[in-house]
Amino acid sequence: MSKVFQFGHLPVHSHCFSQDRKTLAITKENTVEVYDVSTPSAKLLATLKDHDKTVTAVDISIHGRIVTCSQDRNAIVWEPLSDGSYKPTLVLLRINRSATSVKWAPNGYKFAVGSGARVIAVCYFEQENDWWISKHIKKPIRSTILSIEWHPNSVLLAAGSTDGHARVFSGYVKGIDTKPEPTLWGEKLPFNTLCGDFVSSNGGWIHDVAFSPAGDVLAFVSHDSTVTVVYPGGANQPPRSALSVSTSYLPFTSCIFANESTVIAAGHSCHPVVFQGDETNWVLSHAIDDPEKNKQAEDSETSALNMFRQMDLKGTVVGKNASNLKTIHQNTITQLRPYSESNGSLTKFSSSGIDGRIVIFSA
Amino acid sequence: MEDWRRIDIDALDPENTMTLEELTPEVPPVSSQEVSSKINNIRTLISKGSHGDAILLAVDEPPYGADEQSKELYLNTVIDIFSATKQTDIASIVKSLSLEQQNALLKYLYKGMASKKGQQQGGILLAWYEKTVEVTGLGPVVRYLTDRRTV
């Protein structure tokens, strides 16, 4: 069964659970709200208020630090204090357009911010200056970066952009990272090395990118309603295979790997869809929370509240569920996140939507 | 004093602009002879009455790389197939197409609606559109909107 949180009716662009899944951070207009979700009803713990434009993304590191980025061109790291409040530290991003996405590296010592300024800012803490500073990945990016994803080794990162390219870069920072083991993406990885460049099959925007749990497979979703999975062929080699699945759904805005051979994607169709495959072929497996199958349950549900709400909104009582979608999310899903796993495979994942809902689905 | 706040600084940055060519996936060039021979083949199929095969030929590898004039002629031919086909046959024809071919079909329907010739046969195009989307779902519509390879 899916667990649903409703946090008002404002869009949630991004959400993130803490490592222990007890706290949840969600974006709400110019602020980020932090909730305690260990009890059945969510309790508001803190509101993070320092941004003065829409917050576009939020992420929590394995150490519990929260990072937010916003259309005001800033990123802020929020350090949790013992009294339950958070201490903000502004990060010097040096960008002249809005920040669009932010992700902590899996080791929690640095993070990357994608932006409309055609750069990726890789940020790390400098002990001497007591300050978060950033290094820019510039070339060959020539359009807005919409999504960022780190490789499990915390060195490589993937970025999806609006010119239809999904790229893999090295985000190696001297002094912070130890020399990474060679991977299929490359052996020598100085900062800003381009390790892979892939184009969506019909040239649509790349909305989201994802690495497989082992990091040897890259998936991305683009605005042409396709999911593309790429298997790299080794350093400076063309990919072993790049497989694209076209669907009849509306475009997907987010994707995650459930395991090496399963990808879950969701977006404007308001419910998650599961894809499965291997190096030779990928296919659409099934839909989760499928509106086709939900018809019965939704139609039988009636409530007085709903009736009066419809009378208030539309001045009519007929078709009280007619305007409801037959899915849990009532609007576009903005982001998927892994929630829990067992035996290396995802068992639960969470989603946030423009309808203000956070849903935990069973995979 | 010059109103410097209104200067479009992005226009002054040569690295900033992306041309349409850079954003379009590469397509092999198609000569006008190749297009006209394909048009003749399609016309033969129409006169034989095998409209399903005509559609199949038309939307299989459409001439993305041809010049505008050839594309126009090609479009007119496709519209001719649309109007020659019986409405009851549409669904079964669409079902017989591959995903890639369905995408191309949707492109021709939209392009047809934008052309003079297509507008004179609006009803037919709308019937085709309705029956096509019933079969294919919204995917090909989204792909028509995003794909920069035009028919």
Tally of CB atoms within 10 A around A214:
14
Q: Spell out the per-residue pLDDT of chain B, length 151, in tens.
A: 678 888 887 777 777 677 777 777 778 888 899 999 999 999 999 999 898 899 999 999 899 888 889 999 999 999 999 999 998 999 999 999 998 899 999 999 999 999 999 899 889 999 999 999 999 999 999 999 998 888 8
CA–CA distances in Å: residue A257 to residues A207, A215, A363, B63: 15, 10, 11, 37
Distance of alpha carbon B133 from the chain centroid: 15
Do the Cβ atoms of B143 and A142 come within 8 Å? Answer: no
pLDDT for A295 equals 66
Inspect the interface and report whether the beta carbons of B137 and A248 lie closer than 8 Å.
yes
Phi and psi of A42, rounded to 5°? -70, 135
B49 inside domain: yes
Res A316: pLDDT: 66
pLDDT at A319: 55
Contact A263, A255 (CB under 8 A): yes
Is residue B15, in this structure, part of any structural domain at all? no
Q: Which of A162, A167, A166 is nearest to B18 (CA)?
A: A162
Q: Structural domain tally of chain B?
A: 1
The amino acid at A100? T
For residue B18, being part of any structural domain is answered with: no
Cα dihedral sign, A344-A347-A348-A349: positive
Question: Domain span at residue B45?
Answer: 30-146
Q: What is the DSSP string of A217-271?
A: -EEEEETTTEEEEEE--STTS--SEEEEEE-SSPPEEEEEEEETTEEEEEETTSS
Tell whether B25 lies on the interface with A, counting CB pairs under 8 A.
yes
The Cα angle at residue A170 between residues A64 and A134, in degrees rounded to 5: 55
Identify the pLDDT of residue A25.
96
At A96, list the tokens: 């002249």
Interior CA angle at A27 toward A137 and A91, to 5°? Answer: 40
Name the minimum distance, in Å, from the CA of B71 to any CA of chain A.
Answer: 19
Q: Which of A155, A185, A184 is nearest to A171 (CA)?
A: A155
In contact, A200 and A164? CB cutoff 8 Å: yes
Determine contact: B136 vs chain A, CB below 8 A.
yes
B125 in a domain, yes or no?
Answer: yes
**How far is residue B107 from each of residues A159, A241, A358, B110, measured CA to CA in Å?**
30, 28, 37, 5
Q: Cα(B144)–Cα(B151) distance, rounded to whole angstroms?
A: 10
Q: Report the interhelical angle of B32-48 vs B68-84 (nearest 10°).
A: 10
When computed from its CA atoms, the radius of gyration of chain A, rounded to whole angstroms, is 21
* Chain B interface includes A162 (CB < 8 A): no
Please check whether residue B19 lies inside any domain of the structure: no
Within a domain: B134: yes
Side-by-side strand order, sheet with A357-362: A3-6, A357-362, A345-353, A333-342
What is the least distance, in Å, from the CA of B134 to any CA of chain A? 11
**Stretches in chain A below the pLDDT threshold 50:** 300, 320
Q: Where are the domains of chain A?
A: 3-291+327-362
Q: State residue B26's pLDDT score.
A: 78
Q: Which CATH architecture has domain A3-291+327-362?
A: 7 Propeller (2.130)
CATH of the domain at B58: 1.25.40.190
Please report where in the chains the tokens 């404002």 appear, as a residue. Answer: A10
Would residue B105 count as lying in a domain?
yes
Contact A250 B136 (CB under 8 A): no
Q: Contact at 8 Å (CB) between B112 and B75?
A: yes
* Torsion sign across C-alpha atoms A339, A168, A334, A86: positive
Q: Count how many residues are written for chain B.
A: 151
Rounded-to-integer distance, Cα B70 and Cα A352, Å: 48
Predicted local confidence at residue A324, as pLDDT: 79
Confidence (pLDDT) at A325: 83
Minimal Cβ distance to B18: which of A163, A226, A250:
A163
